[in-house]
Amino acid sequence: MLITSLLPLLARYSLGCDLVAGPEGRVTLTIIPRMIEGTGHKPEAGEIRPISLTAGAAEIDAELAKGEDGALGQLIAGRKALADQLEEQRQATEAARAAAATKIKAEAPSPKPGAAGASAQAPDSPPADAKPDEPASLW
C-alpha cells in the first residue's frame, strides 16, 4: 500500500524514504520528495517538504491500508492538487508575459526617418547649436 499511496508523487518527483525506530515501539516514516534530474521544473519549497508520520508500526500499516482515504493518501492528493495549481499558474503567467511582450512590440511606434537625430540625443547633452566657449542658456 505504501507504493500505491506514493504513485501520485512519483509521477512528479523522485522520492527518498527514511524509516526510524523510536522508543516504545513507535516508528517514524519520512518521505522526502526530490527534483527529478533533467526537468525544467523548479519546485516550490512547499512542494518538496518532507512528509513525516510517527506512530506505532501497526497504526502506520493500518493507515497505509486505507489507501487514498488514509492520512497519507489525503496528504499526497492535497500536495498533488497544489502542485498542479502551481504549474497551471506558472503556465498562465508565462502566457501573460508572452502576450504582453507581443502587445508592446505591436504598439511600439516605429522610428520615423529624419527624427533619428532628435531621439538619439541624450537628455543630459548640450544642445546641438551650443558653442564650446559659451555657457549653455535655458532661454
Amino acid 98: pLDDT:
92
Residue 118 phi, psi (nearest 5): -70, -40
Percent residues over pLDDT 70 in the chain: 81
Amino acid 56: pLDDT:
92
Cβ atoms within 10 Å of 127's Cβ, excluding its own: 8
Per-residue pLDDT for 10 more than 70? yes
- Entry pTM: 0.53
CA pair distance 57, 28, nearest whole angstrom: 9
Over range 21-40, report the average pLDDT: 85
CA pair distance 51, 75, nearest whole angstrom: 9
- 85-130 pLDDT, tens digit each: 888 998 999 999 999 988 888 887 766 665 554 455 566 776 677 7
Hey, is 93 helix, strand or coil?
Answer: helix
- 35-91 pLDDT, tens digit each: 877 766 676 777 778 888 899 988 888 887 887 787 777 887 787 788 788 889 989
CA distances from 63 to 25, 59, 78, 101, 116 (A): 16, 6, 16, 50, 74
Residue 58, all three cell numbers: 501497526
